[in-house]
């Protein structure tokens, strides 16, 4: 499914979120095709532990998504339009909390965060 066809399938139902989702899905498909090509060419061979790492990242991503869905549903962002400082503060707090939650879950799952930042 190309980017244009996924746009046609998702945008009418999800508006701007559908556009974002279609771009994300297209990039995911591109990454998978590149991975397949690299493996077939023998240029990439995953080291042991990649499956576990993918699972750890997936769990952290689900926790992050749950926090963001909660923040979207709990706060009436449109009603906060007139209280810009409060709205900005809440958004900043949720973004900071999302970062702490994501990396905290990764650390609790056993990911050594220092290894993610290699030189």
Domain boundaries, the chain: 1-45, 46-119
pTM comes to: 0.71
Per-residue pLDDT of the chain (119 residues; tens, 9 = 90+): 455 666 677 777 777 777 888 888 889 999 999 999 999 999 988 889 888 998 999 999 999 999 989 988 898 888 888 898 999 999 999 999 999 999 999 999 999 888 777 65
Which pLDDT score, from 0 to 100, does residue 2 have?
A: 53
Strand, helix or coil for residue 46: coil
CB 97 within 8 A of CB 104: no
User: Residue 26 has which token pair?
Assistant: 């297209």
| DSSP per-residue codes, 23-75 | HHHHHHHHHHHHHHHHHHHTS--PPTTHHHHHHHHHHHHHHHHHHHHHHHHHS
Which pLDDT score, from 0 to 100, does residue 22 have?
A: 84
């Amino acid at each position: 499914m190309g980017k244009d066809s996924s746009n046609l399938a998702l945008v009418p139902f999800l508006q701007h979120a559908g556009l974002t989702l279609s771009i994300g899905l297209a990039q995911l498909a591109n990454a998978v095709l590149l991975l397949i090509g690299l493996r077939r060419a023998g240029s990439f061979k995953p080291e042991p532990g990649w499956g576990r790492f993918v699972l750890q990242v997936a769990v952290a991503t689900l926790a992050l998504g749950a926090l963001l869905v909660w923040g979207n549903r709990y706060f009436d962002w449109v009603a906060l339009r007139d209280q810009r400082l409060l709205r900005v503060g809440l958004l900043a707090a949720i973004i900071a909390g999302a970062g702490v939650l994501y990396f905290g879950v990764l650390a609790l799952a056993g990911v050594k965060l220092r290894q993610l930042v290699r030189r």
